[in-house]
Amino acid sequence: MGRVYVVEDEQDIAELVRFNLALSGHEIQIFSSGEDGLAAIQKSKPELLVLDIMLPGLSGLEVCEQLKAQADFKDLPIIIMSAKGEEQDIVKGLELGADDYITKPFSTAVLKARVEAVLRRSRSTPVIDQDSVHIDGLAIHHGHREVMVEGKKIDLTQSEFDILYFLAMRPGWVYTRSQIVEAVHGANYAVTDRTIDFQMVGLRKKMGSKGELIETVRGVGYRFKNQA
């Protein structure tokens, strides 16, 4: 299975995470501060980091930002944990490159499903029958996993890239949040509608003026603007 590092200062929650992920066969290491977790990761890179936001000293967001700024850890999958109501922190974490989030209190079934889904995505490369899409100054190169806006490369997380590419492949088609989740993450991915909404916020922001190409269809989901 996977080697998972957990950075969580609340001992009860840390042990709950350790126990349940260990039952699934994962090797778990717990760290109670951002500084300790960051130092351990830089010595030995895990397959996945489960990261609390509210930590003594170096916050979870600061840990995420520092890791994503380093080439060796830019692709490290990160799941952030947050108390309910910290919506701005969740959005910030996703914008910094986190792959998913879990709100506290959480069910152990959701925890395990999220961990398995992120590990599965990080170990596999989606197979898509078209290598690139060029629309209105936006270029999406699937083979290189690169996105260019008016000739300038923008950095997207794995989830953001897959969502953008999925929508851009069929301009004008409307997809529900559930359909987007299934296409990008798989049919058994445990998620709420807010996950996709948060990722759309970050994706549009990174796309700048081209963010308007992704349209919200009220009460349904999202579509990529049809340029015809």
| Per-residue confidence (pLDDT) for residue 182, from 0 to 100 | 80
Q: Tell me if 152 sits within 8 A of 207, measured CB to CB.
A: no
CATH topology of domain 3-123: Rossmann fold (3.40.50)
What is the reported pTM? 0.62
User: Is residue 193 over pLDDT 80?
Assistant: no
User: Is residue 84 over pLDDT 80?
Assistant: no
Question: Which regions of the chain carry the CATH code 3.40.50.2300?
Answer: 3-123
User: Is residue 43 over pLDDT 90?
Assistant: yes
Question: Which regions of the chain carry the CATH code 1.10.10.10?
Answer: 132-224
For residue 28, the number of C-alpha atoms closer than 13 Å in the C-beta half-sphere is 21
CA distance 201 to 148: 18
79: tokens are 């799941």
DSSP 71: T
| Per-residue confidence (pLDDT) for residue 128, from 0 to 100 | 41
pLDDT single digits (tens) 104-148: 888 899 899 889 888 877 775 444 445 788 888 899 998 888 999
Q: What percent of the chain has pLDDT over 90?
A: 45
CB atoms within 10 A of CB 79: 22
User: Is residue 67 over pLDDT 80?
Assistant: yes
- Alpha helix ranges (H) inside the chain: 11-23, 34-43, 60-68, 87-96, 108-123, 158-168, 177-185, 193-207
Amino acid code (one letter) for 197: D
CATH topology of domain 132-224: Arc Repressor Mutant, subunit A (1.10.10)
User: What average pLDDT does this structure show over 19-43?
Assistant: 95
User: What average pLDDT does this structure show over 3-30?
Assistant: 94
Taking all residues of the chain, what is their mean pLDDT, rounded to a whole number? Answer: 86
